[in-house]
Structure 1
């Protein structure tokens, strides 16, 4: 259940990648890989966002019906990006156009299920209060998700390719929020990445 009431921040979950490094054959979608917790990778990512933000827009690629169905069942607004194959930038612009009425956006990646809910809450709160650009930092290393206030919408809509919003982080001031959360730097590229997080 969403619990932040009238938060002006909208979540964007980028879940349109193919994950070819996870399974070169293309048979196994890494977003649907089952974690030991019982959730798929993308469901774990989405549930934390949905617990913090009143609205989460998830972007999927064409023909990703299983990913779309999973996210829709959880409560995300699912939108398909026909240009997803061009890279993360295209998916992000598509999502922003879908949610252009928001006061700010917290942009997360569908293959980063280890980000803590408290981190998402801290970022959303700071973004709602101050706008600008916010990012988590773990042990001095900047991670994801990253938040943008509405004033950056024109710049965000010019993005393209696979770099996403990285160029904006290099160009404009960023408020780094120190977090005790290694999940902000951990994405899943291979099955070994999953195993490493649950190894005792």
Structure 2
């Protein structure tokens, strides 16, 4: 799933629809999500819902769109909406952030292999810093459905200890996100 429900207030609004490369910022996250070993890609929308949904469908009409009605609460609401929308037989969920356009796709299969090998979740690391996306096993879905506020899955991941597989990233794309317009030029 790609979380794309935020208002981008630090950016001044409309962040996910900002120009990035030859397309839109959101398209970087979508490209990574479609490169992952998954059955489907869901985009969770909220602020700018119609425009973000249209951009996602324009990128790939196979995308599933889910609206998080309480998106203003923060990332917890987006995660709840996304997790609740998954099919009952989903073994897990990758969680991509719509404002992270440079995720190296080489890590995605290795993350899936870690989960298949028994990890409760997998996350990339670059130079000792944990990044995104994360891959969460179905066993964590009840905890994710109980999230509130804007911290996302951070607390759930921290509680896993050694059950969180850390996968070394080939570059800093797992850390790079866009918060302000000037970040587009980094």
- Give your verdict on TM over 0.5: yes
Residues 1:61 and 2:51 are matched in the alignment: no
Deviates more, 1:88-97 or 1:60-69: 60-69
User: 3-state DSSP class of the match of 1:78?
Assistant: strand
User: Corresponding residue for 2:20?
Assistant: 35
User: Corresponding residue for 2:107?
Assistant: 119
Query: Can you give the 5+ residue segments of structure 1 that lack an aligned partner in the other structure?
Result: 1-11
Partners of 1:160 and 1:71 in 2: how far apart? 26
Match runs of 1:13-32 below 5 Å: 13-23=2-12, 26=13, 29-32=14-17
Q: Is the 8 A contact 2:7 2:47 kept in 1?
A: no
From 131, 134, 138, the counterpart of 2:126: 138
Partners of 2:107 and 2:63 in 1: how far apart? 20
Q: Is the 8 A contact 2:7 2:48 kept in 1?
A: no
Aligned length: 180
Residues 1:187 and 2:172 are matched in the alignment: no
Partners of 1:122 and 1:72 in 2: how far apart? 28
What is the root-mean-square deviation of aligned Cα atoms in Å? Answer: 1.4
Deviation at 1:65, TM superposition (A): 0.8
Partners of 1:96 and 1:186 in 2: how far apart? 24
With the length of structure 2 as denominator, give the TM-score of the two structures: 0.91
From 41, 45, 52, the counterpart of 2:29: 45
Q: Is the 8 A contact 1:62 1:80 kept in 2?
A: no
Name the CA shift for 1:57/1:129 in 2 (closer, same or farther; >3 Å): farther
Deviation at 1:129, TM superposition (A): 4.0
Residues 1:158 and 2:143 are matched in the alignment: no
With the length of structure 1 as denominator, give the TM-score of the two structures: 0.85
Residues 1:77 and 2:64 are matched in the alignment: yes
Q: Is the 8 A contact 1:131 1:148 kept in 2?
A: no
Deviation at 1:41, TM superposition (A): 0.7
Partners of 2:130 and 2:170 in 1: how far apart? 12
Q: Is the 8 A contact 1:131 1:150 kept in 2?
A: no
User: 3-state DSSP class of the match of 1:50?
Assistant: helix
Query: Can you give the 5+ residue segments of structure 2 that lack an aligned partner in the other structure?
Result: none
User: Corresponding residue for 2:168?
Assistant: 178
